[in-house]
Amino acid sequence: MKKINLNGKWIIGISLLIISGYAYLIQASDNEQVIEETSAKMHFEINNTKHSKEKLKSKASHAKDLEKEKPTYKAILDKALLIKDKELRIKTISNHLLNWAKDAPYECVHWLDEQYETPEYMLYVSQVIHFLITDDLSLAGSIILNFEILHSDQSIVDDYLSSQVAVSPYDGIEWLNNLNNEKIKQEAEFRLLQSWANLDPTQLLNYLEVHTEIAGNKRHIIQHQLAQTLTKNNSQQVQDEFYSYPPSFQPNLAYSVISQWPEHELSDAREWIFTLEGEQSKYFAIKSYIDYTGTSSANMNELIEQIHSPTLRAYLLERLQ
């Protein structure tokens, strides 16, 4: 009985060992398949990545070739200069210049600087500078100062300053201080002050009180224009606040007030002159009255007699003849 049990246990053990071995073989086979599949997948991905990189490299190389083939603005413009038809030449060059000014303004102006003998040269310069002033005023100012051919041109300087004074007159003055062409600078300053007088006369009046170096005929013309603008804006306010203005400015103001006095109220104008204080203010007011009304001495003798200076009084009496 014991012998049978031992034999049975031995058979069972052998069977379990066979089953375990078979299971191991199956698992090993599955693992090998997984490894093969994984290896194949990795190989595919490596090949695919390599192919993608080569594809991208090919595209990049193609883009570089296209970039190399794309002509520069300089090459385009040099070619456009050879166009014989004037109208077509101007149109073509103008279009390319404006595009170049948008992309690289300094390079564009540098090319223009080298084309002084080019037909229609000033037309192209004017177009580019006008575009830059409209597009970026600060950049335009910097470019004009950097190119002598630009800041030595009165019309270009005036064009820039007429825009700058509307934004900030003080920035315009500072820009002028960097200009090394004294003749252009003096003329440009005068025109800037004239524009300023129309835009903001009170602000300019304050500026003139500080900057006494602006003198002589230039100062007189600017003050006259200031007075005209102030009186035109609000004549009654100027009359009411007359003595609040600087004494040196009052004579110009008196002339302007009378010159714009309503024609049907001239008796009031004479009364205002009569009450004016200051020899110069009264003189300029009477002079203005004579200039604008051409009245006879019969109406003006009393006022003229208030002028103490014999020279000024004689001058007014002479103007009545």
Q: DSSP secondary structure string, 185-220?
A: HHHHHHHHHHHHHHH-HHHHHHHHHH-TTS-HHHHH
| 36-to-30, 31, 230 alpha-carbon distances in Å | 10, 8, 96
Please give the pLDDT value at position 320: 81
Question: In the predicted model, is pLDDT for residue 146 greater than 60?
Answer: yes
DSSP H helices, the chain, are: 2-69, 73-80, 86-103, 105-113, 121-135, 137-146, 148-151, 154-167, 169-177, 182-199, 201-210, 216-233, 235-240, 250-259, 266-275, 279-293, 297-304, 310-319
pTM over 0.75: no
Cα–Cα distance for residue pair 246/202, rounded to 1 Å: 11
Residue 141: count other Cβ atoms within 10 Å of its Cβ. Answer: 23
Q: Is the dihedral of CA 282, 286, 289, 291 positive or negative?
A: negative
Residue type, 58: S
> Once rounded to an integer, what is the mean pLDDT over residues 195-213?
95
Q: Tell me, what's the pLDDT at 34?
A: 43
Instruction: Please report which confidence band the pLDDT of residue 90 belongs to, taking 50, 70 and 90 as the band edges.
Output: very high
Mean pLDDT computed over every residue of the chain? 84
Q: Looking at the predicted structure, is the pLDDT value of residue 272 above 90?
A: yes
Please give the average per-residue pLDDT across 145-152, as a whole number: 93
Q: Average of pLDDT values for 74-90? A: 94
209-266 pLDDT, tens digit per residue, is: 999 999 899 999 999 999 999 999 999 999 999 999 999 999 999 999 999 999 889 8
Average pLDDT over residues 3-24: 50
Which of 60-69, 167-176, 228-237, 256-265 shows the lowest per-residue confidence on average (mean pLDDT)? 60-69
Give the residue among 285, 194, 287 at the shortest CA–CA distance from 242: 285
What is the distance between the alpha carbons of residues 252 and 95, in angstroms, rounded to a whole number? 50
Other Cβ atoms less than 10 A from the Cβ of 165: the count is: 23
Share above pLDDT 70 across residues of the chain, in percent, rounded to a whole number: 77
pLDDT, average across residues 188-213? 95
Q: Give the tokens for residue 161.
A: 């300053």
> Could you give the CA distance from residue 101 to residue 125 in angstroms, rounded to a whole number?
11
d(CA 246, CA 114): 51
Confidence of residue 201 (pLDDT cuts 50, 70, 90): very high
* Measured distance CA(121)–CA(237) in Å, rounded: 51
pLDDT at 225 (0 to 100): 95
Q: How far apart are CA 263 and CA 269, in angstroms?
A: 9
